[in-house]
Amino acid sequence: MEWQIPEGLKFTRRHEWIREEGDNTVRVGVTDYAQDKLGSIVFVELPEIGRKLRAGQSMAVIESVKAVADTYSPVDGTVVEVNEALPDQPELLNQDPYGEGWMVRLQTAEGCEKVELLDPGAYAGWIRQQEEEGEQ
Amino acid sequence: MRKTQKLLFESGRPGRRGVSLPALDVSARPLEELLPQAFRRQLPLGLPELSEPEVVRHYTALSTRNHGVDSGFYPLGSCTMKYNPKVNEEAAALPGFALVHPCQEDETVQGILELLYEAEQYLKEITGMDRITFQPVAGAHGELTGLMMIQAYHRWHGQNRDKVLVPDSAHGTNPATAAMAGFEVIQVPSDQRGLVDLAALKEALGPDTAALMLTNPNTLGLFEEDILEIAAAVHAAGGLLYYDGANLNAVMGYARPGDMGFDVVHLNLHKTFATPHGGGGPGSGTVGVKEKLAPFLPLPLVERGEAGFYLDHDRPQSIGRVHSFHGNFGVVVKAYTYLRMMGADGLKQASADAVLNANYLMHRLKPIFHLPYDRVCKHEFVLSAREQKKMGAGAGDIAKALLDFGFHPPTVYFPLVVTEALMVEPTETESRETLDSFAEAMAEIARLVREDPERVKEAPHTTVVGRLDEARAVRQLRVRWSKEEA
């Protein structure tokens, strides 16, 4: 099975993607792999605007027909925007995880704390490893 | 057969009645005199209007659309869907139990208090705990009660511990309960054996640890063999140990949570002690504690005095009430009846047979489905449909296909540590013939997945209602009928 891993993004081991937007903000969502593993997503709980998050702290909750999963902030930052469409159309996360299904935009500071971020090649390797572990 | 059943609101006719009321033998007074305009509803109530046979036929028809443990095998992992003996119902329906009022004076309900007192003694013996409350009415309610007591205990000792540790294989209610009680949840990973990773646990323990919530055997059906070391480590850090009793059916009479080091235990009387649940409820999330936590139990508790049994409300450290009166008392009567009918040896036999049935079925199924943790299991085991998923139909599809064979599916996609999980708990009340026919159905479904996965993806094919769109059902939840939208 193949999952989309677009160039130009960074990824976490917990299957979030992060895109630097150039104005000291980053956009965050979950990867194609994550949405595929979760299955049909039925509910998304997003953080409040203005909330301060530490890198690695729980940021949002995604519920699918299979499971409930936390997503984590990849960086220290303040929530400046959330995807208002998601609560009414959680299926956007399944249909377009890197586009219409984005979750949160965070204001960050220069040199702020980050979790370990992977480039697309390294993330593809991480997924392979996870899949092989599932084989054991 | 009709695909869907008409609602009561869509049946009957205006003006139709199930009863004929006699003529008034007092003079009627106009409504305006009795109730001021401001307090009267503006619209008619919109109640259904039907005759008695229409109502009876409606509910009788609905009752045939259900699958319960009285209609067939129900191997729903973690839920212990054992058969509930009908004598329990008879006991609970005795007028002395069923017709009393909860506000009666203690001296007029001595039998009831005695039953609560005795049920407490039995459950103390089974769990190794020192006191019991029957107030919580569901497992998760028991968990919340337990964690509130743990919180009260730490605060009483001047400590504000705000973290609860939960293994990654835990029941979903454990982290949910901890969050609900105001704790931060810290996840502890499982190791290669499928058990708590002891090193990771010790790493996570600290002066802010309030408790570790654990199920033993765990949700993989495996006994946490390091439990004494786990308990010692948690206690050394100043934390308490919480036992999720959902899986007690595996160890009754063989191992006691109290002896393993647990401080708080919740029991699902509606699982382990054979009272109905799963839509048939109501339930009971009875909670037991060690002596040091007893002052914090919900009030009142039943005590035995010189003049008989009485309710003790004088418990100043109590967390208060978590439910009105004594929770679901009728459920306690049923569980008490079960305990008396089984006896100590019978309970041990029940656990032994539950474990035997699970291991037998596991051995029959492991050539067909992947078994990620291939060890002797307790009362349940977890298969993975990952090979079937690669062929095009996963655990959820296999669950639906089982409906075509007349079986309730196992729990699927749980625990989360197993991909495409199928969690099977046969319980002790099933015969070998039933287990064999379930194994044969699973083999047949595995064959279907190899040959025609698309057909399995569309299952069930023989039920009244076919495959439902579960995602849409949640996204566009609509559970209330209204005349305007009909």
Convert the pLDDT of each residue in B32-41 to its tens digit.
889 998 999 9
State how far residue B473 is from chain A, nearest Cα, in angstroms. 9
A42 touches chain B (CB under 8 A): yes
Instruction: Report the pLDDT value the prediction gives residue B3, as an integer from 0 to 100.
Output: 62
CATH for the stretch B86-341: 3.40.640.10
**Chain A closest CA to B52's CA: distance in Å?**
40
Chain A nearest C-alpha distance from B475 (Å): 5
DSSP B35-63: S-GGGS-SS--------HHHHHHHHHHHH
| Stretch B184-206: mean pLDDT | 96
- Minimal CA separation from A40 to chain B, in Å: 6
Within 8 A of B169 by CB-CB distance, chain A residues are none
Which one of B168, B475, B476, B477 makes the best mutation probe of the A interface by having the most chain A beta carbons within 10 Å? Answer: B475
- Say yes or no to pLDDT of B107 above 90: yes
Q: Do B413 and A40 touch (CB under 8 A)?
A: no
CB contacts under 8 A, B 152-181 vs A, are 172
Residues 6+ apart with CB under 8 A from B53: none
Report d(CA B169, CA B147) in Å as an integer. Answer: 19
**Which one of A90, A135, A136 has the shortest CB-CB distance to B475?**
A90
Q: Which residues of A touch B389 (CB under 8 A)?
A: none
Give yes or no for residue A110 having a pLDDT over 50. yes
Task: Tell me which residue has tokens 């089974």.
Answer: B126
Work out the angle at residue B468's Cα, subtended by the Cα atoms of residues B463 and B470, and round it to the nearest 5 degrees: 145
pLDDT value of residue B2: 53
What interface predicted TM-score (ipTM) does this complex get? 0.78
Rounded CA separation B287/B67 (Å): 30
pLDDT of residue B65: 87
Q: Considering only CB atoms, which chain A residues are within 8 Å of B370?
A: none
Q: What residues of A are in contact with residue B396 (Cβ under 8 Å)?
A: 39, 65-66
Q: Test B386 with A40 for CB contact under 8 angstroms.
A: no
Mutate to test the interface with B, among A40, A92, A130, A136 (most CBs of B within 10 A): A40
The bridge status of strand B209-214 relative to strand B240-244 is: parallel
Left if phi > 0, otherwise alpha if psi is -120 to 50, otherwise beta: which for A2? beta
Q: Give the model confidence (pLDDT) of B298-349 as tens digits.
A: 999 999 999 999 999 999 999 999 999 989 999 999 999 999 999 999 999 9
Distances (CA, A) of B70 to B59, B76, B78, B86, B356: 17, 14, 19, 10, 22
Which residue has better confidence, B435 or B278? B435
Question: Is residue B27 packed enough to be buried (19+ CB in 10 Å), middle (13-18) or exposed (0-12)?
Answer: exposed
> What CA–CA distance (Å, rounded) separates B387 from B370?
7
What integer pLDDT is reported at residue B46 of this predicted model?
A: 84
* A132 pLDDT higher than 90: no
Contacts of B421 in chain A (CB under 8 A): none
The token pair at B82 is 């054992």
pLDDT the model gives residue B354: 98
For residues B431 and B251, give the distance between their C-alpha atoms in angstroms, rounded to a whole number: 20
B386 at A interface, C-beta within 8 A? yes
Q: What are phi and psi of B258, to 5 degrees?
A: -60, -40
Closest C-alpha to A35, from A8, A71, A6: A71
User: What separation in angstroms does the CA of A62 have from each of A59, A65, B105?
Assistant: 10, 10, 51
Angle at B340 between CA B337 and CA B345, to 5 degrees: 140
A14: left (phi over 0), alpha (psi -120 to 50) or beta: alpha
Helices (H), B305-431: 329-365, 386-391, 395-403
How far CA B106 is from CA of B22, B80, B100, in Å, comes to: 40, 35, 11
pLDDT tens digits for range A31-73: 999 999 999 999 999 999 999 999 999 899 999 988 888 899 9
Nearest CA in chain B to A89: B475
pLDDT of B57: 93
pLDDT reading at B485 higher than 80: no
What pLDDT was estimated at residue B1?
44
Contact yes or no for B474 and A134 at CB 8 A: no
Measured between beta carbons, which residues in chain B are less than 8 angstroms from residue A90?
Answer: 475
Residue B148 has pLDDT above 50, yes or no: yes
Rounded to the nearest angstrom, the gap between the alpha carbon of residue A31 and the centroid of all alpha carbons in its chain is 6
**Paired tokens of A52:** 């301060």
Where b means 16+ CB within 10 Å and e means fewer, A58-96 reads ebbebbbbbeebebbbbbbbbbbebbeebeebbbbbbee
Q: pLDDT class for B138, splitting at 50, 70, 90?
A: very high
Q: Alpha-carbon distance B453 to B410, whole Å?
A: 19
pLDDT score for B474: 86
- Minimal Cα distance from B391: which residue of A? A1
CA distances B167 to B200, B247, B289, B424, Å, are: 10, 15, 21, 20
Supply the pLDDT for residue B5: 81
Coil vs helix vs strand at A88 = coil
**Among B135, B143, B140, B145, which Cα is nearest to B332's?**
B135
- How many angstroms separate the CA atoms of B6 and B32, rounded? 37
Establish whether domains B86-341 and B347-473 are of one fold.
no
* B367 preceded by a cis bond (ω within 30 of 0): no
How close A84 gets to chain B, by Cα (Å)? 16
**Chain A touched by B474 (CB under 8 Å):** yes
Which residue segments constitute the domains of chain A, with CATH numbers given? 10-113 (2.40.50.100)
- Which of B413, B470, B474 comes nearest A67 by C-beta? B413
Residues 335-374 of chain B whose Cβ lies under 8 A from any Cβ of chain A: 372
pLDDT band at A134 (very low <50, low <70, confident <90, very high): low
Q: Indicate whether B53 pLDDT > 90.
A: yes
CB contact under 8 A, A67 and B396: no
Tokens of B195: 């058990």
* Domain covering B347-473, topology: Aspartate Aminotransferase, domain 1 (3.90.1150)
Domain ranges of chain B: 86-341, 347-473
- What would the mean pLDDT of B244-254 be, rounded to a whole number? 97
Distance from CA of A8 to the nearest CA of B (A): 30
Look at residue A135 and tell me whether its pLDDT is greater than 80.
Answer: no
Identity of the residue in B386, B419, B475 whose CB atom sits nearest the CB atom of A42: B475
| Tokens read off for A48 | 């409040």
| Nearest residue in A to B419, CA atom | A134
- Between residues B277 and B437, which one has the greater pLDDT? B437
Q: Which residues in chain A have their CB less than 8 angstroms from residue B471's CB?
A: 39-42, 65, 91
Q: B392-429, pLDDT tens digit by residue?
A: 999 999 999 999 999 999 999 999 889 999 999 999 99
B470, closest residue in chain A (CA to CA) = A65
Chain A's closest residue to B187, CA to CA, is A70
The DSSP code sequence of A104-122 is EEEE--TT--B---B-HHH
> Distance (Å, rounded) from C-alpha B129 to C-alpha B122?
10
Q: What is the mean pLDDT of chain B?
A: 95
